[in-house]
Structure 1
Amino acid sequence: MTMIEPAAYAAHEHLVRDARARPDLWRLLVGLVIVCALYLAANTVLFAIVGALIPPSQAQGFLRGTSPLATFVLLASFGFLTIGVAVAAKQMQQRSLWAILGERRLAISQFTRVLVALVVLGLALAALPPYGMGDPLTQNLAFSTWIVLLPFAAGAVLIQTSAEEILFRGYLQQSLAARFRSPLIWVGVPSALFAAGHYAPGVAGDNALLVAVWSCVFGVLAADLTARSGTLGPAIALHFFNNVISLLFISLPDTLSGLALFLLPYDMSDGGVLRQWLWVDFGSMMVCWLTARLVIRR
């Protein structure tokens, strides 16, 4: 089925064209079953090993990622998701993982340039008021410990963020674009599923819907960057930058906080201060997306 894309999304064709040889929806659905099965099976084995090595009293805290080791293991376990996508794409579409990521040199170049631009932007925003986030932050790790762990922690975040982009903006988006010409489908469906995966009322309470909407908008912006650039490089850079800030610098205490330098003085279900900062975070995300768009236009 021929897809007519907007001129701005012409580069997306480089990612989609080899998926057109096998655009059947049943292939995508079976592929997703393969991804889920491999991911769940690998994690079952991993956490069975972890459960045998740690005391039962520490199991709940480990699953929440409240220690450095727990957070590292939980983030690195997303690598199984990438492996699942690689197997599914090969078996169902005869595509390689690099076909999903995009042309290798271009993807790496775009990732690097966008990430550098976002770091510069982040430093500039940090220099502007308001200073602080209300109540004082809690020191989570000693700076000497944090700086030693930082390279390994950043690598684990890269595994996690690239895995989510490879699945949602890669395998899902490209497979749907090979079958449907409307961006409303190949942008909307993966973004909605991405939002559903971040809907956690048990953790976020009354903020759960707002967090899910935030995630959906992020998915749309990442999909836009992917379609404009022709690789997953910019979307991975945007996702990586966002998660490094929220997981390694200043984290919520609820989950995946073990590698953060500081903790916020409120949790994800806070209906007051946190909700206000979610809107600030939303504005910052839009600025980051616009910055990434400027970079990939060069």
Structure 2
Amino acid sequence: MELIGIYDCAGRPDKSGGGAVFQSILLRWHWRPEAFAAYIARAGEGRNSAPRIAVGFILIVLFHIIFAVAAFVVGPVILKSYDAVLGIDRPLMLYFDAADAFFVTRFGLALFLGASGCMWLGTWFVVRIVHKRKLSDLMGATARLSWRDFANSFAVWFVIGAISSAIFFAMDATATRSETALLDWGLALLPLSLFILFQSSAEELVFRGYLQQSLAHRFPHWFVWAALPATVFTLLHWDSDALPWMNAAYLASTLVFSVAMTILVYATGNLGAAFGAHCANNIVALLLFGADSDYRSAALFVGLPMQDPTWTPIEAALLVILSIALTATALAFSLRPRSPFKLRGTQDRPNSDEVVQVGSPAE
């Protein structure tokens, strides 16, 4: 990577002699800081005070909790209805004891993904009611999602994810083909992939869209608008059932992925690439190579769960190194100008005279 200039967030030359890492350095990669500045400026079209951001995020979390609880309640009802069709009659309370068993099935997985995807509704409510602006403002600098970037990013991260999982399973002598019939897996592939898209895009909408955009408009320092959403996103993946070193490795890998998604949004001023990357990553993790004890029912291949007590610290360290190396490779394919999968981000070049500087005051 070769340094070719120092710029402010609107793409103008920076005469201050430096700046934050995420905001001031334009590399010979396919990065467009003026597009990210225009993306941030859209938060200023509504009411974007710090208290509103905090209240908005809390409301989105509450929406998620409400739908998660609803899924937990609906799950046993679905089980009872299914048994009723088969002529089995048992008290409803017994089905709540089997709720855990329901959520590890493909139907339960779809219900879980759907509940997470309902953060779309929570984000829409917060943006419209709390911030008084449109949900489309979160899509990109021109209020449109780049589907070209979605497709290119999906292709890159799907291949990289498959390679990563294959290497991970090569470390596991117990890895094998799952008991799921190939025909059943194929029939469930499309609908479950759509649920995964719903869930993964909702997470990106909240963390790399709403939270990152809103914070960047209020606070000029990257350790607020970039580090804070990445940290929260990572901690939400805490797995207390795993060994300490495997939990640490999982969190580290999640943090690496979260930083990569932040870079994609910064480089393009659009959520399209992050949507595609996250969707591809989750399809590989849930439908191709199942390595989580809670979500193995839909996977084509299964191996030793990450919660298994036989994983060693060395294997955990190798997992982190592998994650860093392959994530860097995926970013290179996405951001290098000569890559066939290079990202374009915002198609309409923003007018720098209309760009609002990051951190500019807003109500």
The equivalent residue for 2:275 is: 236
The equivalent residue for 1:50 is: 75
The equivalent residue for 1:249 is: 288
Closer, same or farther: CA 94–140 of 1 in aligned 2, 3 Å? farther
SS at match of 1:255: coil
Q: Paired residues, what number?
A: 293
Where in structure 2 are the equivalents of 1:1-298 lying within 5 Å? Answer: 5-6=23-24, 7=26, 8=31, 9-21=33-45, 22-54=47-79, 55-62=95-102, 65-102=103-140, 103=142, 107-119=146-158, 125=163, 132-135=170-173, 136-203=175-242, 205-270=244-309, 271-272=311-312, 275=316, 276-294=318-336, 295-296=342-343
Which ranges of structure 2 fall in alignment gaps of 5 or more residues? 1-7, 11-22, 80-94, 337-341, 346-363
Partners in 2 of 1:243 and 1:291 — Cα distance? 19
The equivalent residue for 2:355 is: none
When normalised by structure 1's length, the TM-score is 0.88
Q: Which runs of 4+ in 1 moved over 6 A?
A: 128-131
Which amino acid in the other structure matches residue 113 of structure 2? Answer: L
Contact 1:201–1:207 (CA under 8 A) maintained in structure 2: no
Which ranges of structure 1 fall in alignment gaps of 5 or more residues? none
Which amino acid in the other structure matches residue 343 of structure 2? Answer: I
Contact 1:90–1:96 (CA under 8 A) maintained in structure 2: yes
Moved more, 129-138 or 153-162: 129-138
Moved more, 280-289 or 223-232: 280-289
- Cα RMSD (Å): 2.6
Closer, same or farther: CA 108–274 of 1 in aligned 2, 3 Å? same
Partners in 2 of 1:152 and 1:274 — Cα distance? 34
Partners in 2 of 1:15 and 1:129 — Cα distance? 37
Q: How big is the shift at 1:218?
A: 1.4
SS at match of 1:77: helix
Q: How big is the shift at 1:132?
A: 3.6
Higher Cα radius of gyration: 2
Contact 1:79–1:160 (CA under 8 A) maintained in structure 2: yes
Closer, same or farther: CA 140–274 of 1 in aligned 2, 3 Å? farther
Closer, same or farther: CA 130–251 of 1 in aligned 2, 3 Å? closer
Q: Deviations over 1:128-184 (max 9, x none)?
A: 989944313241411111111100111111111101100100000001001011222
Partners in 1 of 2:297 and 2:64 — Cα distance? 23
Contact 2:9–2:34 (CA under 8 A) maintained in structure 1: no
